[in-house]
Amino acid sequence: MEDSNRSSNPSIHDVSDLARRIVLRGGFGLAAAAVFAPLVGCTGGPPSASAPRLGFKGVAASTADALVVPEGYTASVLAAWGEPVGIAGQMPAWAPDASNSAAEQAAQMGMHHDGMQFIPLDGSRRGLLVTNHEYTDDGLLHPGGMQPWTAQKVAKSQAAHGVSVIEIELVGGRWQMLRPSRYARRITAATPFAVGGPAAGHALMKTAADPGGRRVLGTIANCASGATPWGTVLVGEENWADYFYPAEQPTAHERRWGLRRNSWYRWHEHDPRFDTVRHPNEPHRFGWVVEIDPLDPNSTPVKRTALGRAAHEGAWAAVTKEGRAVVYSGEDAAFEYIYKFVSRDRIRPAGGGLTAAQANSTLLDHGTLYVARFDTDGTGRWLPLLHGQGPLTSDRGFADPGEVLIKARQASDALGGTRMDRPEWLAIDAASGWVCCALTGNRDRGSGTHPGPDAANPRAGNTMGHVIRWQEEGDFSGERFRWNHLLLAGDAANERPEARGDVKGDAFACPDTLAFDARGVLWIGTDVGSGSLNQGEMARLGNNQLLACDPARGEVRRFLVGPARCEIAGCSFTPDGTTMFVNVQHPGEAPGARNDPAAPSRHSTWPDHRPGGRPRSATVAIRKDDGGVIGT
Ligand code: FEO
Ligand code: CA
Ligand code: CA
């Protein structure tokens, strides 16, 4: 796990008073209710007055190699790794021995499904699924794993990254892929991207292959995603640092971004642009939020540099009362930051021959980026990353606005943003104005020379993670906010107080995915690392899972348990709420290593359960047998 922030900020947040932390941790405790009374009121009244929103019978923790859903629900596998996405004339069948070529993989679902958005085409009966493919396990991706390691295998790994667009339809109560489809598309680590915003054409973005600094090949490490009101999908580039191979002694700038000489992917051995000695600016072209228009399969996706460079988990849009876009994001790395971007311009409607996506094709190129500072009194501030203001000046290493964005981490260090416990997904409840962020955990908090607990990140050795939330002052564009903890994850049966948490309901750890449904239920997917699952403090928690949280009552109930050694990733709904799509990522992930190609079924055979076969990441569609709304 990356941990590259050696800045000393922000000491003013350090909270050594345990009593103070207890007040702040009790999202729904009496003390917290008193401190945050105006916030609690905004959810629609005191918790006891709201009707229960969780109507299903929770499922037990499980360690089985099976997907478990509540009684009265059915889950069906929809789009596993290797299924052809449906490009006319290019629909190669999946080869269970992983013998598909790189070209075939580039027309098939990529590996290790992550963030996902359902884009309706015909209400809740037909639509697009836009799915990220975060990383590859090259032990499973090729018949012989990485032995030998070849240019063809690098090309296949690159083709298994990126994003898939598929068209799906509900037929007789069951979702199926429509193939061929005019929307079917693969975006990979080789697809041309445009660059938008202040860093487009910047000297630090220029390479030998792209002297203009405005055209980048590919997107990688695509973790979470969010749909925009103008019909596009925003995708994060998260652990991109793992793909680059620097000099034996990386520069201070490279070290701040986590570049180190242990490239997990070994792409640089056959693709020199991932060798930063030869191509030092190539890493600057990753770590952006990318915007994709899934309704136009011929559109060029864009890297939106105005949103800042980071290990972006994903990005999520809200709309202000006057119609401007606000995009929240965070970076999932230990002790890194939460950001928001406020657009300069208002969102434009479709018209004049333009779709909504086309009418807003430069909306995210102009605006202000902020980093979050969480203060001990339950308020917070958004600190603007504006060139020329405060420490963001040429003499401090920020020559221009583009350099501030390319070096957003260093700018946030200088401004004093709050160093968080690995920000994962955010979710916005537009009705109440609550913005939630999953902080998946940070076992280094408070150890050695690492920062100790602070108000926002209140536990040392934070193995369990928490969900923080805030409401903006005035509107989503506000520069101040009030915050509290929705919950601290954990298991009340744990011996270590810091690992018990305050969950009212089913125990869980390591929140990652967050998604509000239309009823205001917050769905929480977990990502306990493969090396920690079902042992130690995680012993009673079972496989990774999806839980429903009723924020008004603070109640948490386990809805789904995934197969062995998976994590639960994307979660998206049809507009009527009767189908939930969930991505099951990396079933059978080997702890801390790749899978052994000689024994691909050692840790899981889900979903095919073919003897000796490979486990496959897959999207599942979940419906209630009576056709009702999920979770009721
Ligand atoms: Fe890709 Fe932060 O999970
Ligand atoms: Ca994630
Ligand atoms: Ca994660």
Q: Which ligand is nearest to the CA of 311?
A: 1
pLDDT over 80 (residue 628): yes
Give the pLDDT of residue 9.
62
Q: Stretch 247-259: mean pLDDT, rounded?
A: 97
Is the bond leading into 597 cis (omega within 30 degrees of zero)? no
pLDDT over 70 (residue 404): yes
Ligand 3 geometric centre to CA of 441 (Å)? 9
Ligand 1 geometric centre to CA of 561 (Å)? 19
- Residue whose token pair is 């509000």: 516
Which residue's alpha carbon is nearest to atom 1 within ligand 1? 223
pLDDT over 80 (residue 30): no
Give the pLDDT of residue 264.
86
Residues 172-229 have pLDDT tens digits of 999 999 999 999 999 999 999 999 999 999 999 999 999 999 999 999 999 999 999 9
Give the pLDDT of residue 13.
35
Q: Stretch 246-258: mean pLDDT, rounded?
A: 97
Ligand 1 geometric centre to CA of 134 (Å)? 8
Residues 1-18 have pLDDT tens digits of 678 887 766 433 333 333
Backbone angles phi, psi at 483, to 5 degrees: -135, 160
Q: What is the Cα–Cα distance from 50 to 143, expressed in whole angstroms? A: 55
Pick the atom of ligand 1 nearest to 223's CA: 1
Ligand 3 geometric centre to CA of 223 (Å)? 9
Pick the atom of ligand 1 nearest to 422's CA: 2
Residues 470-497 have pLDDT tens digits of 999 999 999 999 999 999 999 999 999 9
Pick the atom of ligand 1 nearest to 313's CA: 2
pLDDT over 50 (residue 37): no
Give the pLDDT of residue 51.
79
Ligand 2 geometric centre to CA of 568 (Å)? 8
* String of DSSP letters for 413-441: HHHT---EE-EEEEEEETTTTEEEEEE--
Ligand 3 geometric centre to CA of 130 (Å)? 19
Alpha helices in 133-199 (DSSP H): 138-141, 151-159
Mean pLDDT of the chain: 93
Pocket of ligand 1 (CB under 6 A): 134, 223, 238, 313, 332, 424, 512
Pick the atom of ligand 1 nearest to 221's CA: 1
pLDDT over 70 (residue 41): no
Pick the atom of ligand 1 nearest to 440's CA: 2
Report DSSP state, residue 241.
Answer: G
Residues 294-306 have pLDDT tens digits of 999 999 999 999 9
Q: What is the Cα–Cα distance from 493 to 621, expressed in whole angstroms? A: 33
Q: Which ligand is nearest to the CA of 332?
A: 1
pLDDT over 70 (residue 47): no
Distances (CA, A) of 190 to 47, 88, 138, 140, 187: 50, 20, 18, 21, 8
Q: What is the Cα–Cα distance from 367 to 430, expressed in whole angstroms? A: 21
0.75 cut: is pTM over it?
yes
Ligand 2 geometric centre to CA of 525 (Å)? 9
Pick the atom of ligand 1 nearest to 134's CA: 1
**Model confidence at 112, in pLDDT bands (50, 70, 90)?**
very high
Q: What is the Cα–Cα distance from 253 to 525, expressed in whole angstroms? A: 33
